Amino acid sequence: MKMISSLFIPILVLVVIIYGAYKKVNVYDSFVSGAKEGLPMVSSMFFSLLAMIFGVNIFLKSGVIDYFFDFLKPILVFINIPLEVLPIAIMRPLSGSFGLALLNDMYKVYGPDSFISVLASVIQGSSDTTLYVITLYFGTVGIKKIKYALWAGLLTDLFMVIMALILIPLFF
């Protein structure tokens, strides 16, 4: 399996080159032309991405999230919601990779087939990195009015967490 995964990208590139030669397309010139067109887009995305990464890191390193979890703990215990899924539910709209790291830790601690891991997996899979999407894509194309898109995205994420908390206990 490791050999297949290490050869996948080179084989894919080879298939594209062969297909381009079959269609009589100068693959190298097309690649260079596409890279030149993509460079301004990457440079316009850079500052939006930098601001988003900076903001997420400040949020994580400041310890605010720990205070927030401590505040919500009595409420969640009262309504019987596992505290272990709270970090994924909160961090998923901010950072997909951080959510995956948390999910991986849950798999190691609780096992992949445990109730908490299944619940966290559904939350991870059914929500989106809303703030990342809005910051990066809206910032790249210059959209300044994000109020309704932000609310729609965050409410959808909240709805998906609530649905996971309702449905997973029914099926697990």
Please answer whether residues 152 and 95 qualify as being in contact, where contact means their C-beta atoms are separated by less than 8 angstroms: no
pLDDT tens sequence across 98-126 = 788 888 889 999 999 999 999 999 999 98
Among candidate residues 129, 127, 132, 128, the one with its CA nearest the CA of residue 45: 132
The mean pLDDT value for 148-159 works out to 91
What is the average pLDDT score of the chain?
Answer: 85
Please answer whether residues 116 and 106 qualify as being in contact, where contact means their C-beta atoms are separated by less than 8 angstroms: yes
Cα separation, 166 vs 65, in Å, equals: 24
Domain boundaries, the chain: 43-171
pLDDT tens sequence across 43-95 = 777 777 777 778 777 877 788 877 888 888 888 888 888 888 888 888 888 77
Crossing angle of helices 115-126/96-110, nearest 10°? 170
75/5: higher pLDDT: 75
**pLDDT for res 80:** 83
